[in-house]
Amino acid sequence: MSDAVAQQTEQQEPEIDLSIADAVIDKYIDIPGNLMPVLQGVQDEYGYIPHVVADHIAERLNVYPSQIYGVLTFYAQFHLKPRGRFIIRVCVGTACHVSGAPRIVETFFDKLGIGHAETTPDLRYTFEKVACLGACGMAPLAMVNDDTFGKMTVQKVDEIIAEYNQRPMK
């Protein structure tokens, strides 16, 4: 290892329990082409793919860490930073756009203090604009995790945030 790299500071990540990742890896270890299910399973457990876990997966599956990173950045489904407990998705597809989605998006931005693909510091919310959620009849549409909210209005934004502020984090 070069000194230049040795001197690089370790990524600031909270203490990660690798045994959770090991349990997922053990499940798929003997299956050819196991990288995707392992990454998906690990992300389900941690909510994202921490750097140390990616390195650990590389070591266990004997693939290059860079290759894992290539896969993680190729697919939009993988996340490299901690995500919120509640993922708020607002549709900005054509139908939602014409029925006022931009205003809904702006309101969420104002209320949460975060922008697209960002997470609140308390890890409660992650906000994402998405192209189409496939429920154009209910435009404009928002989703929080698996809950769907159709015919969105600015008031509804307040109600949603109030409701999910009450929900437990675990």
Partner 1 sequence: MVNLTIDDKQVTAPKTATIYEAAKLNGINIPILCHDSKLKPFGACRMCLVEVEQMKGRQIPACTTPVTEGMIIRTSTPDIVKARKMVLELLLLNHPIDCPVCDKGGDCDLQNLTYEYQVSANRFTDEKFQHEIDYNNPLIERDMNRCVLCGKCARICDEVVSFGALTFIDRGIETKIGCEFEGALNCEFCGSCVSVCPVGSLLARPFKFKARFWALTKQKSVCGYCGTGCNLTLGVQDNKVLTTIYDAEQGFHKGLLCARGRFGYQFINNDKRLTKPMVRKDGALREASWDEALQFVAGRLKGGNVAALSTARLTNEEFVLFKDLMKLAGSASYDHSAGYAHSALTKGLSRSFGVAASTATILDIQKSDLLLVIKTDAYETHPVVGFEINQAVKNKGVKLSILSDKRGKLGKLPGAKTLVHAPGTEIALLNAITKVILDEKLTAGTAASVAGFAELERALSDFTPEAVAGQTGIDAASIVQFARDYASAEKALIIFPTGLAYPGHNADLASAAANLAILTGKLGTEGSGVLCMAEKNNSQGAVDMGFYPANGGKDAGQILEDCASGSVKTLFVAGENPLVSYPDRSKVSAALDKVDCLIVSDLFLSETAAMADVVLPACSFAEKEGTFTSVDRRVQYFKPAIKKVGLSKSDFEIFSVLINLLGGQAPASPAAAFADIAASAPGYAGMSYAKLGEEGAFAPVDVKPALVAPAVVRPTVEQGKLALLVGSVLYHCGTLSQYGEGPMYVCPEGYVEISRADAAAHKVSEGDLLTVTSSTGSTQLKARISPRLPAGVVFAPYHFEAAQVNTIWSGAAVTWVTVGK
**Residues in the site for partner 1, rule: CB under 8 A?**
1-6, 8, 11, 51, 54-55, 59, 62-70, 73-74, 80
User: Toward partner 1, which CB reaches closer, 30 or 146?
Assistant: 30
DSSP letter, residue 81: S
Nearest approach in angstroms of CB 33 to partner 1 is 14
User: Toward partner 1, which CB reaches closer, 20 or 80?
Assistant: 80
User: Toward partner 1, which CB reaches closer, 52 or 138?
Assistant: 52
Nearest approach in angstroms of CB 30 to partner 1 is 14
User: Would you state the torsion angle of the CA atoms of residues 30, 37, 64, 3, taken in this order, to the nearest 10 degrees?
Assistant: -120
Residue with tokens 């959770």: 20
User: Toward partner 1, which CB reaches closer, 7 or 166?
Assistant: 7
Within the chain, strands assigned E span: 86-91, 118-119, 125-130, 142-144, 147-149
CA end-to-end span of the chain: 40
Nearest approach in angstroms of CB 6 to partner 1 is 7
Residues for the chain: how many in total? Answer: 170
Nearest approach in angstroms of CB 7 to partner 1 is 9
